Structure 1
């Protein structure tokens, strides 16, 4: 089954409450020394991504697939840079604007309903394109081309997300991966080498990849345990056709344990 843009919008509308419980940063956490909670780990991941990308207050960051603005607001508040967030979900735009005002960074950030494959921004508009657990939904090569277009000279593309550990899956491995990805309305993952090739084809001159699976595995296990009380929702899903993430929370853990996927940070420079 190929998930559509509308499927993704519906999924986030249906699961808004659950994501609010997780916090404004809808992503895995980075667990290194001093991190004690998932919310701390989520913020730590923002810090790590910003450091890898070398973001300073002089940058203008495009948060591609910004959710409710967690990363954009974080960057504006902690670094002082400008940030523009885009999402295809109208409700997320509204919430992101509210959260930015509450955080006191409304003058530094703005949010728009827009598809990151085909934005309305002029060429060379941004110094950084940021995608944190949003590019898994993309037509990857198309997204990388658009990121290259909107980046200025010496601009950087930074992605934190799940990556396929191999080019192809067969048998029970394929079934496990598909059950996981379907739970989050994701069509497919690509390998780090795929992203390197897409970036080279688009015109990026330099790429780097960091496998940070060991630092996010605690979140993977936490998601698994969180899913256990909600497994009955899996039955409800089959009856009323509402897409709950319970299956994904369960299956991502087993797929990671079997090394079918990895979590990485990918950087490309113009």
Structure 2
């Protein structure tokens, strides 16, 4: 999986810019017509997750699956948060640190190559665990929620935005579509939004809530937004990429039409989840220390 991130880093940044994730539009909006372009829309998705989860300014944030650091730079910049970003890709971490230096927030945003399930950070080190389009890359999601709970201070917030699958049984054609998407996107599997809520509660989180943003983000796979066609039209470019990086990189180009079909048919969904680590009850320990740093 780390290799896939490494070989596609520049492709995603070239096509989608600083924020390598979905955009967010209001109903009826079309990118670049009567709605935001892809850069403004991806910026908005970050703000929507901040608002939905209630992320406080100045928080200590762990950004799980930070990519090249786009959302973290917003958290560390306008919001004044202290952000630790982690990714399996050394190339992503290096690029994110470079962008943090360029943005003048390297003192508040640091990026590392670490496993999300074995970070080495101490208990209760963060006020917010932020996972924007990274949870679907983690095979053991129950372990993710347990680790997030460990890392959060009492009262801390878990903020997740993730690709998901429709709740309920899928028919054969729908299962085949999902399997193709997983293969081309190099992902282990999808969970439904309901399943994410269940996992959060089972881990011990309280005030668990989710919202379905499928309609708001679906424009992200419009060919004009994703811009994949400009690569597809240059077949020699694609051949060169395959020779240089391996055939796995071609899955990047096949995924776009499949994701659009997934959203159009309602098989693929997208949502956000918010949860809170309960404060300890009487006799179970005091309040978290204010001077603790990750």
Do they superpose with TM above 0.5?
yes
The alignment yields a C-alpha RMSD, in angstroms, of: 2.3
Match of 2:273 in 1: 266
Task: Give the unaligned 5+ runs of structure 2.
Answer: 278-294
| CA deviation string 1:132-180 (max 9, x = no partner) | 1111101211111111110010111111111110344331111111111
- Residue deviations 1:218-244, cap 9 Å, x none? 11224787334545549x869x53333
Q: Could you say which residue in structure 1 is the equivalent of 2:133?
A: 133
Cross-structure match for 2:21: 27
For residue 78 of structure 1, give the secondary structure of its aligned residue in structure 2: coil
> Which deviations, in whole Å up to 9, do the C-alpha atoms of 1:42-68 show, x marking residues without a partner?
111111111112222231111000001
1:181 counterpart residue number: 182
The Cα shift of 1:182 comes to 1.4
Question: In structure 1, how many angstroms separate the alpha carbons of the residues matched to 2:118 and 2:222?
Answer: 36
Unaligned 5+ segments in structure 1 are: 1-7
Aligned residue pairs total 263
1:250 aligns with 2:243: no
Q: Give CA deviations for 1:6-35 in whole Å, capped at 9, x if unaligned.
A: xx2111221122112111211000123885
In our comparison, the structure showing a higher alpha carbon Rg is 2
Helix, strand or coil at the partner of 1:161: strand
In structure 2, the residue matched to 1:226 is 227
The 5-angstrom pairing of residues 1-270 of structure 1 reads: 8-21=1-14, 22-32=16-26, 35-138=35-138, 139-222=140-223, 226-231=227-232, 233=238, 240-244=246-250, 245-270=252-277
C-alpha spacing 1:183/1:163, structure 2 compared with 1 (3 Å): same
Question: 2:275 and 2:224 mapped to 1: Cα distance?
Answer: 30
Q: How far 1:125 sits from its partner (Å)?
A: 0.6
Q: Deviations over 1:165-207 (max 9, x none)?
A: 0344331111111111211111111011111111111110121
1:66 is paired with a residue whose SS is coil
TM-score normalised by the chain length of structure 1:
0.90
Closer/same/farther in 2, CA of residues 227 and 168 from structure 1, 3 Å limit: farther
Q: Distance in 1 between matches of 2:215 and 2:59?
A: 30
Answer yes or no: is the 8 Å Cα contact 2:136–2:189 preserved in 1: yes
Alpha-carbon distance in 2 for matches of 1:117, 1:65: 11
